[in-house]
Structure 1
């Protein structure tokens, strides 16, 4: 990918490799201490971030750890929200074991997400991020949640560019034999898939990192975020198969044929307040692929930048906080 993106530009190649080397050799700072566990369902758990007010359950993607919502002391959406009149809760999906090889995305909703909602013991609003938003839509159709906010949530998978869907189909054809042997799809393969969605940005961000002082706070923030992006448990084979074949290739959600717990999930039928936050510059979840329901906020921020970037607090955190306060108070 580096050769392809920097052909005939040896200075760029060298700069990107320098940035990669600095990332690999960087000193690591400790991540925030995980918050207490409120409830468990199998390997999944709910972390309680405290705060006084309505319970807001954040549903992260199955891909990458949930820590992007609590990346460090300066960029933690959840710790900030705990000071804003709500009680943020965060699902941690844990790491699958061999007995779960066939567990699908829908199966995660049925055996983990829904039981965790039930175990909280009070009405909750849901906030889903990325694939977690797709899963949160299903949960909101199956449980009486008070409100639903969706951040960079794919639903109309048929509206991804053909080049993206073709590349992901090719990736699955290549990776599927390994999943049959391992029972899981390793994170390394998933990360390669994300690189292919936006290769230019992948290269340029390492070029930029190569020019920074390692002691610069911006450099340290980059390392922390890249560690998150390159980390995470594998996907079960069943979830990977459903993601690549039923969602990306088959567009079952967008076609109205995706079933969870025996029910076809239709976001247009949701009765609670819904907020949709989409990005006009996101290559991982393009704005055209989001559900198109409820109130909408469009941001010109990247898929991860909208959560932890320098403009995240003003553009996403604050509007989300205001909407949650209004939606959960009935106002």
Structure 2
């Protein structure tokens, strides 16, 4: 089957599509049947019907291009901080997989940070400035100490914000902190990716999402192709097929990073491990999640292929799971393994004095 037609139908990804097709060629070079199955799955994914976009939840605060979206509820106010990589909607997925909507019915008032979309004019705004200029003002806008919940790099950012302003508690989910805990092979791939993309990103003033997606695919190229093979065999109207489309649309979307944030993440975090060495300074303070005066907890997956358990902060309250990086948020076992324990922890936090 020719790959050419897919280049003209790439609005639904995968992004970048030419690189995905090259990866497909390489992974299925010895198996024409697998290639045909993966291409059939890709065609089915691109042609799948999408529901109407959800209406965004109300904005209750804004700081720069970032806003805080209110998911209702009358309990403990908790600000959820997503990663800068991929859209924040991983916390509000369809098909009964919305952590935030579920939390709003469990004694928590979830508030979601939406980082917005940077432009080249924002090129000099590094990771620390995202926290100082956007996240900390959003926290202060509530008028009382809130709980902070950070997912992936959002947990890294949340720990920094909690070092600068009083919070009721900090929960870190699948959060990298000791970046030296990544395997040497993973660090080498990440360094090579940044080396190849650095000059173009510098000229753009942004790090496009496609650069980051390329790195994710390289973690497990066989699995990247195999999931499209499996999708091609599903009934398009089945819950499994609808969930696949929603998850892939999320994974293939996302705003770029500012150049400075990308440089800091690649050079200061992955290459130098400033957070893990207690050398990362935000808002004039060295960030150390172990020294926070509030309750802290981390949820760590022992089977996470994106953020290995060895990169976690090592907090005293460590909850170990056996779900993937995304599965722990939206998988079939997420509610019992993560959602409920997190809700119990949040609702048990002491009231602010």
**TM more than 0.5:** yes
- Go from structure 1 to structure 2 and tell me whether the alpha carbon gap of 1:12 and 1:252 turns closer, same or farther (over 3 Å shift): same
Q: 1:241-278: CA deviations, max 9, x gaps? A: 00111101111111111111221111111121111101
Equivalent residue for 2:41, pick from 19, 28, 33: 19
Q: 1:9-64: CA deviations, max 9, x gaps? A: 33222222221111111111123321100100000000001101110000000111
Report whether the alignment pairs 1:61 with 2:83: yes
What SS does the aligned partner of 1:167 have? helix
Contact 2:303 2:324 in 1 (8 A): yes
Contact 2:136 2:161 in 1 (8 A): yes
Indicate the residue corresponding to 2:290 in structure 1. Answer: 268
What SS does the aligned partner of 1:327 have? coil
Q: For 2:51 and 2:112, locate their aligned partners in 1 and report how far apart those are by CA, in whole Å.
A: 22
> What TM-score do you get using the length of structure 2 for normalisation?
0.91
Q: For 1:88 and 1:326, locate their aligned partners in 2 and report how far apart those are by CA, in whole Å.
A: 15
Report whether the alignment pairs 1:156 with 2:175: no
Indicate the residue corresponding to 2:342 in structure 1. Answer: 320
Q: For 1:236 and 1:322, locate their aligned partners in 2 and report how far apart those are by CA, in whole Å.
A: 36
Report whether the alignment pairs 1:297 with 2:326: no
Report whether the alignment pairs 1:40 with 2:55: no
What SS does the aligned partner of 2:171 have? strand
Q: 1:176-229: CA deviations, max 9, x gaps? A: 111121110111111111111232321221121111011112101110111111
Report whether the alignment pairs 1:86 with 2:108: yes
Report whether the alignment pairs 1:189 with 2:205: no
Number of residue equivalences: 330
The list of structure 1 runs, each at least 4 consecutive aligned residues, that deviate by more than 6 angstroms after superposition, is: none
What SS does the aligned partner of 1:253 have? coil
Q: For 2:241 and 2:314, locate their aligned partners in 1 and report how far apart those are by CA, in whole Å.
A: 36
- Unaligned 5+ segments in structure 1 are none
Indicate the residue corresponding to 1:137 in structure 2. Answer: 159
Q: For 1:157 and 1:12, locate their aligned partners in 2 and report how far apart those are by CA, in whole Å.
A: 36
User: RMSD of the alignment, in Å?
Assistant: 1.3
Q: For 2:80 and 2:199, locate their aligned partners in 1 and report how far apart those are by CA, in whole Å.
A: 33
Contact 1:152 1:290 in 2 (8 A): yes
Q: For 1:85 and 1:31, locate their aligned partners in 2 and report how far apart those are by CA, in whole Å.
A: 27
Indicate the residue corresponding to 1:247 in structure 2. Answer: 269
Q: For 1:327 and 1:199, locate their aligned partners in 2 and report how far apart those are by CA, in whole Å.
A: 42
- Unaligned 5+ segments in structure 2 are 1-22
Equivalent residue for 1:175, pick from 197, 203, 210: 197
Q: For 2:25 and 2:273, locate their aligned partners in 1 and report how far apart those are by CA, in whole Å.
A: 33
Please give the residue correspondences for 1:47-126 in structure 2 after superposition, counting only pairs within 5 Å: 47-126=69-148
Q: For 1:122 and 1:201, locate their aligned partners in 2 and report how far apart those are by CA, in whole Å.
A: 45
Indicate the residue corresponding to 2:51 in structure 1. Answer: 29
Contact 2:126 2:261 in 1 (8 A): yes
Equivalent residue for 1:228, pick from 235, 245, 250: 250
Equivalent residue for 1:285, pick from 279, 300, 307: 307
Higher mean C-alpha deviation, range 8-17 or range 267-276: 8-17
> What TM-score do you get using the length of structure 1 for normalisation?
0.96
Report whether the alignment pairs 1:210 with 2:232: yes
Q: For 2:254 and 2:186, locate their aligned partners in 1 and report how far apart those are by CA, in whole Å.
A: 23
What SS does the aligned partner of 1:52 have? coil
What SS does the aligned partner of 1:64 have? coil
